[in-house]
Amino acid sequence: MIEAGRPWWRDAVVYEVYPRSFADSDGDGNGDLDGLRNRLPYLVDLGIDAVWIAPWYPSPFADGGYDVSDYRDIAPVFGTLDDADALIRDAHEHGIRVIIDLVANHTSEQHPWFQAALHSPPGSPERERYFFRDGLGEDGEQPPNNWISAFGGPAWARVAEPDGSSGQWYLHTFAPQQPDLNWRNDDVRDEFDAILRFWLDRGVDGVRVDAAPAMAKAPGLPDADYGPEPRFDTADWVDNPHWDVDDVHEIFRRWRGIADSYDGDRVFVSEAVVNGLERLRRYVRPGELHTTFNFEFLKTPWGAGLRTVIDETITALAPTGAPPTWVLSSHDETRLVTRYGRHRTGAAPLGGGAGARSDLELGTRRARAAALLMLALPGGAYIYQGEELGLPDVEDIPEDQLQDPIWARSGRTERGRDGCRVPLPWSGTAPPFGFGPADSAPWLPQPRSWTELTVAAQAADPTSMLSLYRRALRIRREVSGFHSDEFRWRDAPAGVLDFERADGVRCLVNLSPTALAVDAEVEVLVSSEPLHGGVLPTDVAVWLGPSRSAPGDGH
């Protein structure tokens, strides 16, 4: 039963577009908004409900566009504001909603506010919008406190004062090119109210809140107690003075008020990696954000532990009324077929674990099963571009072409996240694989071996990852059992996930080492591998369901 008035985002499948790597219409090696616009029919065929577009604003790209220098425009490399308007309009015509990415914890160092702060004296209103502090030590040569950056090293950088002398320090939770904004400052609050309205007025359907837990800092900026070895592991932090500080929720209540003043079910989704589901659920309390990514799911190794995290997520969020949102990968994570083919299958922070041996065949088999698991769960689901093609992480990008700031900040020991950001292969047998015009060179090199992974190759193959996603998404849309919050575990042998949604729709995932017999009487809607003789092998998932008028061919 579909409830009347049920907001679209409660069950939405959202496709993450990393615009620089999606499709390049003008041949400069970078994806762009017209590239995305031209490919909207592909997204319609795929069967998703919405796109989340990673930052598209003017930016020096010190952190892939998460360093914004103008929040009310589009990066020239991606197009113009008119292109964005046309994209939003066309997406809506195709029945696809648009979620944008708002980076509000920090600006780019090139943002006019930060430039003004650099050219203003200590204590000035311009510096009050950020965190400028005097250093410790006789000459202020030590950072103001012990806080560390997500990308390695201290979270403080020292500036030269306008007269050339060594001066104050400013806070940067991420790269030094990303100075943190001071959210206790009225200019900051008012400016972001206006930015939100700017985009909501242009018709966007939702906003992803980047690095949400970073946006409030404990008053007085006290030292953090990291334990013996300072590591940026936000999932482990309790009472940290620069992450998940309670005051952050005031900002989101303010923002919710703005979204609620618009028609059409606008949605917020927060990126919040915090210590456990109890802390996470605060982000989606009534009057705050509508949804939040569920990173517990992505960190959980492939195996029976997935049942626990599914249970805990549903239970933890239930009192808030917010639906779960299931995420297995993103532009920050190792691609699924690579991760699931490794010995350690849970996600490590910021794409860590690069270089570990991976059995891609096994990883692909599991990724196929994981897709059916994720898409059968109640709530929303996020698919990162290229996961529907089963792309592996690219682990041999030449060092001189690596662009993630993690590479330099870690002293060239961590390769960072470029391996999951390689431009998509659309067609053909050699790079750029239809990503851009034939003679163009994508901003990150594509492996020659991607010939069989192109959209064109997979569209023609009913057994491909793309065909599996298309089939599953079509069924999810057509079968009403998926359009409700109903969810119930069935009794199952150890290591087998077996749950039912409304109207008898059922999902089984075999995570045990032994094959499982499946009820021969029940209709198979889709399975991640062909089922022979009614047997569900290890690492295979199946949807069983009520009879449908057009069930397709099962696998």
Q: Give the single-character DSSP code of 115.
A: H
* Rounded Cα–Cα distance for residues 150 and 375 (Å): 31
Of 321-360, binders to ligand GLC (CB under 6 A) are 331-332
**Partners of 291 in beta bridges:** 269
Helices (H), 429-546: 455-459, 465-478
HSE-up of residue 297 (Cα within 13 Å, Cβ side): 25
Q: Give the single-character DSSP code of 136.
A: B
Token pair for 296 = 């517990």
Q: Which of 205, 210, 244, 539 binds ligand GLC (CB under 6 A)?
A: 210
* Rounded Cα–Cα distance for residues 392 and 390 (Å): 6
- Report CA dihedral (107, 110, 111, 115) to the nearest 10 degrees: 120
* Rounded Cα–Cα distance for residues 185 and 113 (Å): 13
Of 116-175, binders to ligand GLC (CB under 6 A) are 174
Burial code (b: 16+ CB inside 10 Å, e: under 16) for 471-486 equals: bbbbbbebbebbbbbe
Q: What is the CA radius of gyration of the chain?
A: 23
Give the Cβ contact number of residue 438 at 10 Å: 10
Token pair for 231 = 């590591």
* Rounded Cα–Cα distance for residues 171 and 130 (Å): 8
Of 164-183, binders to ligand GLC (CB under 6 A) are 174
**Partners of 507 in beta bridges:** 499, 543
Identity of the residue, 66 or 183, whose beta carbon is nearer to ligand GLC in the bound complex: 66
Identity of the residue, 384 or 450, whose beta carbon is nearer to ligand GLC in the bound complex: 384
Tell me the number of residues near ligand GLC by CB under 6 A.
Answer: 9
* Rounded Cα–Cα distance for residues 482 and 474 (Å): 11
Identity of the residue, 67 or 498, whose beta carbon is nearer to ligand GLC in the bound complex: 67
Of 250-289, binders to ligand GLC (CB under 6 A) are 271
What residues have CB less than 8 Å from 160, skipping those under 6 apart? 166, 167
* Cross-sheet strand order for the sheet of 267-270: 291-292, 267-270, 206-209, 97-102, 50-53, 13-17, 380-384, 325-327
Q: Which residues are catalytic?
A: 210, 271
Residue 466: which of 372, 520, 388, 364 has the closest Cα?
Answer: 388
What is the three-class DSSP state of 159? strand
> Cβ-closest residue to ligand GLC?
66
Identity of the residue, 126 or 210, whose beta carbon is nearer to ligand GLC in the bound complex: 210
Q: Shortest gap between Cβ of 212 and ligand GLC (angstroms)? A: 9
Q: Shortest gap between Cβ of 534 and ligand GLC (angstroms)? A: 43
Token pair for 547 = 């009879």
Q: Shortest gap between Cβ of 149 and ligand GLC (angstroms)? A: 10
Q: Shortest gap between Cβ of 103 and ligand GLC (angstroms)? A: 5
Q: Shortest gap between Cβ of 61 and ligand GLC (angstroms)? A: 11
What residues have CB less than 8 Å from 141, skipping those under 6 apart? 135, 166
**Partners of 16 in beta bridges:** 52, 384
- The answer to whether 96 touches 50, Cβ cutoff 8 Å, is yes
Of 440-469, binders to ligand GLC (CB under 6 A) are none
Identity of the residue, 369 or 397, whose beta carbon is nearer to ligand GLC in the bound complex: 397
**Does 211 help bind ligand GLC (rule: CB under 6 A)?**
yes
**Does 109 help bind ligand GLC (rule: CB under 6 A)?**
no
Q: Give the single-character DSSP code of 60.
A: -
Q: Shortest gap between Cβ of 66 and ligand GLC (angstroms)? A: 3
- The answer to whether 467 touches 474, Cβ cutoff 8 Å, is no
Q: Shortest gap between Cβ of 53 and ligand GLC (angstroms)? A: 13
**Does 103 help bind ligand GLC (rule: CB under 6 A)?**
yes
- The answer to whether 293 touches 322, Cβ cutoff 8 Å, is no
- The answer to whether 341 touches 360, Cβ cutoff 8 Å, is yes
Q: Shortest gap between Cβ of 191 and ligand GLC (angstroms)? A: 18
Identity of the residue, 25 or 182, whose beta carbon is nearer to ligand GLC in the bound complex: 182
Q: Which of 15, 22, 66, 237 binds ligand GLC (CB under 6 A)?
A: 66
* Rounded Cα–Cα distance for residues 293 and 380 (Å): 9
Identity of the residue, 336 or 518, whose beta carbon is nearer to ligand GLC in the bound complex: 336
Q: Per DSSP, which regions of 339-487 are E strands?
A: 380-384
Identity of the residue, 49 or 332, whose beta carbon is nearer to ligand GLC in the bound complex: 332
Identity of the residue, 174 or 340, whose beta carbon is nearer to ligand GLC in the bound complex: 174
Identity of the residue, 11 or 63, whose beta carbon is nearer to ligand GLC in the bound complex: 63
Q: Which chain residues interact with ligand GLC by CB under 6 A?
A: 63, 66, 103, 174, 210-211, 271, 331-332
